[in-house]
Amino acid sequence: MYARRPSGILLHPTSLPGPGGIGDLGEAAYRFIDWLAAAKQRRWQIMPLGPTSYGDSPYASLSALAGNPLLISLDQLVHDGLLAATALDTPPAFPPDHVDFGAVIPWKMQLLQQAFTQFSTITEGESRVAFDLFCSAQRHWLETYALFAALKEAHGGTPWNQWDPAIAQRRASALHEWQMRLTDRVQFQQFLQWQFFKQWNDLKRYANGHDIQIIGDIPIFVAYDSADVWANPDLFYLDGDGNPTVVAGVPPDYFSQTGQRWGNPLYRWDELAARNYDWWVKRFRMMLTLVDLVRIDHFRGFAAYWEVPASEETALNGRWVPGPGAALFEAVREQLGDVPIIAEDLGLITTDVETLRVSLGYPGMAVLQFAWGGDAANIYLPHNHTRNLVLYTGTHDNDTTIGWWHGLDGPTRGHIQQYLGIHGEDIAWDLMRAALRSVADTAIIPMQDVLRLGREARMNLPGRPMGNRGWRLLPDQLTSEVAQQLGRLTSLYGRERLAVAEHRDMI
C-alpha cells in the first residue's frame, strides 16, 4: 500500500499556534505544512474534523459529514472582506498553551455571525455564486445538518430527544414549520460549512502540493445527539421515545478497569445491509474529499463490538455482538473503488479481527509504548513488526513518551534500555528513532514527542469526560533546527520525501 515508506506527524488543527484561542485553518496551518516539508515528512495525521458539542470531543460530533466551524480562520474572513480588520484587534486574553473552549466558542461564534451578516448583504457576484453552488452540491447532507444545528441552537443546546416530539420525530408539518421559522439560522449554518470546506480544501491542496498526504479519522460510531441519529433513527437501536436501548463501549482494558461506556447508539447492521450500506458509503465518499487516507477508529467493532445495555453505568456488563464483517467494505469498494484505509486494531484483538483485516489487505497499527515489560513475543516489539503496518510511538490517547517514561517501573525501564541499547536520557527521540528505522511502511510521531514534551502536553485521557484535547503548540516551538534534526533522522532510515514544492504566498 505504501511503496514509498513515509513518516509523518500526529497533530490536530486545534493544536496549532496563533491568535484566537484555538488552532485554525489559517496562516499557522500553512506554516506547519512548510515545517513538515522541511522535516522531510509526508504524512499529517489529524483527528475527526466534525463540529463538536458538549465535552469538545471530535469523536462525539454533531455530524459525521459536517466540518467544525471553530477551525475557520478569522484572518481569512478579514482577507475575504467578510470581517473588518478591527474586529480582531482586542481578543480576550486566551491562554497560549491550551484551548479554553468555554471562552473561545462564544467569542468566535459572534465573529462568525458578523461575517455571515456581512455576507448576507451580498446578493450577486463570485462569492454568492460559489455559496449557492456549494449548497446545491452538498444538499444531500447539508440541508439536514443545517436545520439540526439551527434547531439545537433554538432549543438552547439541549439534545434532540428533549425537543417537542413533533420535531424530534421529524414529522413533515413540524419540519416545514421550523424550516420557515429558522430560515436565517439555517443559512448561517450553511455559510459556516461553506467557509469550512472552502478553507480546508485550500489547505489540503497546499499539503498535497508539498507531497504531504493527510490521514483522517472515521470513528466507527456516531454521537447520539447528532444529525446522523436524528435524521436516521431506523438505523440505530432506539426505543419508541428515541432513546438508545443499547450503547457502545469496550470491556476493561489498558485504559480502564471498568471498561469504557462510550454511550454511542449501536447500528442496526441488518437494516444497513438491506440498503447496501448506503449511509456508510456516503460517509466514506465525503471523507475522501477531506483526506487522502482514512484511519478507521475501533476497527475491531466491524468484526465484533461490545454491546452495553443503556441502563448500565459502566461497560462491565456487556457482551460481544458480531459486526458486519467484510460485507460493509465490499460494498464500499464496489461503489467507491479501493479506498486507502488504515485499521486501528489496538486493544483486545481476537483472531476474527485479524482475519478480517488481513483479508481486506488493510495495514494495522502498532504502538511502541505498548511493547515493553513482557516477553519477546509482544507484537509491538520492533523485531515482530511487519511491513503492512502503521507504527506510532504513542497516539492521542496515550501519555506523551516522556510522561509515560516517568510513570514506568524499574524493570520495564531496564527492558527498554537493554532492548534499544539506550540510557533513556532522551527517551522521546530514542523511541522516535526506533519507529523510523522499523520495517513498518509508515511511522507516525505525535508532535509532543518531537518537541520532547512531558505529561502536561497530553492530548486525551480516555474515560475522562471533560478537560481533554486542549493542548496547543506555542508559536516558537516549530523551529527550523528541530525540522532539520527530524529530517536527518528521516533520511537516515529511508523515509525522506522526494520533492519540495514552492511555498504558498502569505494569505
Residue 344 annotated among the catalytic residues of the structure? yes
The residues near 155 (Cβ < 8 Å, ≥ 6 apart) are 162, 163
- For 399, the grid coordinates are 501519555
Please provide the average confidence, as pLDDT, over all residues in the chain: 94
Residues near 358 by beta carbon (within 8 Å), at least 6 away in sequence: none
DSSP SS3 for 296: strand
DSSP string, 96-164: SSB--HHHHHHHHHHHHHHHHHHHHT--SSHHHHHHHHHHHHTHHHHHHHHHHHHHHHHTTT--GGGS-
Is 397 among the catalytic positions?
Answer: yes
Domains of the chain: 13-221 (3.20.20.80)
Out of 34, 330, 352, 397, the active site residue is 397
Which of 56, 297, 345, 441 is an active site residue?
Answer: 297
The residue type at 337? G
Nearest to 38 by CA among 410, 421, 399, 491: 491
Measured from the Cβ of residue 124, the count of other Cβ atoms closer than 10 Å reads 7
Catalytic residue among 217, 228, 344, 345: 344
Using CA atoms, how far apart are residues 115 and 79, in angstroms rounded to an integer? 11
Cα(231)–Cα(144) distance, integer angstroms: 7
In the predicted model, residues of the chain with pLDDT beneath 70 are 1-3, 255, 497-507
The structure's pTM equals: 0.95
Q: 10 Å Cβ neighbour count for 412?
A: 14
Residue-level pLDDT at 213? 98
Q: What is the pLDDT of residues 33-68, one digit of tens each?
A: 999 999 999 999 999 999 998 889 999 999 999 999
DSSP 413-472: HHHHHHHHT--STTHHHHHHHHHHHSS-SEEEEEHHHHTT--GGG----TT--SS-S-B-
CA–CA gap between residue 156 and residue 124 (Å, rounded): 34
104-147 tens-digit pLDDT: 999 999 999 999 999 999 989 999 999 999 999 999 999 999 99
| Confidence (pLDDT) at 255 | 66
- pLDDT in the model for residue 496: 86
Question: Distance of CA 120 to CAs 57, 116, 127, 236, 469, Å?
Answer: 31, 6, 11, 38, 34
pLDDT of residue 257: 84
- What the block records as the C-alpha cell of 203 is 489547505
Q: What is the DSSP string of 340-372?
A: -EEE---SS--HHHHHHHHHHT--EEEEGGGS-
Among 481, 395, 474, 436, smallest CA distance to 10 is for: 395
